[in-house]
């Protein structure tokens, strides 16, 4: 069973509250990493990091982070080595991001899309598998090489 880590700040809290039980109904295991109550002063980087680390450290297979626009969550999640996060507001990108780019964290903007489109995006993301073809693996390997050459997001980097 696929394990999905989900997190959201105040901007994505209502949408996360709707998506988490729905994802469970689809028979996925869900790790709800918060927020667990509406906190108007919480910050998206905290939740994006928790979800991205959960995926990068193999405690979850996929991650979903929700903030107001999805942009900040995407930026923050991508600072975690091993996370490949993308902001998606269409089903093609949510599916193709996994199939071609081995995306493992979906970022959503709760102030940009509604709950029904969010469900379609989550379904596309969770049902997709990386197409481990030579050309696609080569590209993902190049992304991983870029990540290994940069100090951004790595522990102890100066």
Q: How far apart are CA 98 and CA 12, in angstroms?
A: 22
Residue of 115, 71, 124, 118 whose CA lies nearest to 97: 124
Could you list the active site residues? 67, 100
* Beta bridge pairs of residue 107: 65, 87
- The three-class DSSP label of residue 106 is strand
Is the CB of residue 64 less than 8 Å from the CB of residue 19? yes
């Amino acid at each position: 069973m696929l394990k999905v880590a989900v997190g959201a700040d105040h901007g994505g809290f209502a949408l996360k509250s709707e998506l988490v039980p729905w994802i469970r109904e689809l028979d996925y295991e869900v790790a709800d990493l918060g927020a667990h109550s509406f906190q108007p002063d919480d910050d998206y980087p905290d939740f994006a990091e928790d979800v991205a680390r959960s995926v990068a450290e193999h405690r979850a297979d996929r991650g979903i982070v929700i903030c107001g626009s999805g942009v900040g969550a995407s930026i923050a999640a991508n600072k975690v080595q091993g996370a490949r996060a993308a902001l998606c507001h269409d089903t093609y990108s949510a599916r193709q991001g996994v199939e071609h780019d081995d995306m493992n964290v979906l970022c959503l903007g709760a102030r940009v899309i509604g709950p029904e489109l969010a469900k379609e995006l989550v379904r596309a993301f969770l049902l997709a598998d990386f197409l481990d073809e030579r050309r696609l693996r080569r590209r993902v390997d190049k992304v991983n090489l870029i990540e290994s050459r940069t100090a951004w997001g790595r522990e102890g980097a100066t």
